Amino acid sequence: MRIAAITFRLHAPWVRSLKEKRMIVKSLIAKLQNKFHVSAAEIDEQDTHKIIVIGVAAIVPHNAMADSLMDDISVFVEENTDAEILDEEREIR
């Protein structure tokens, strides 16, 4: 059994308030949880309205499935947000 974790740092230059950022974050997290059945949360930069940092984690049976899941999640995030992906960090434990 493995833990797959992926962290996304996104830049949303059009966001003007924390309230607007929260709506984007909540929507993306809900979509990730519903589609992939993973744990997801905003994990950093909560007080910065143009930067979004989301962490996603899942328990998988083996490394190949972890890689596949993280690839799918990465594509999903890219397709389902207008924010630019600044950084993506992956980890398998």
Q: What is the per-residue pLDDT across 37-92, written as a single tens digit (0 to 9) for each? A: 999 999 988 888 899 999 999 999 999 999 999 999 999 999 999 899 999 999 99
Residue 87 has what pLDDT? 94
Residue 48 has what pLDDT? 87
pLDDT digits (tens, 9 = 90+) for 6-16: 999 999 999 99
What's the pTM? 0.89
| Beta strands 2-11 and 51-60, pairing class | antiparallel
Task: Give me the residue spans of the domains in the chain.
Answer: 2-92
**Through-space distance between the first and last CA atoms of the chain, rounded to whole angstroms:** 9
Residue 49 has what pLDDT? 86
User: What is the sign, positive or negative, of the torsion defined by CA atoms of 5, 73, 43, 52?
Assistant: positive
pLDDT digits (tens, 9 = 90+) for 18-32: 999 999 999 999 999
- Of 3.30.413.10, 3.30.70.1120, 3.30.70.1150, 3.20.20.70, the CATH number of 2-92 is 3.30.70.1120
Helix, strand, or coil (residue 32): helix
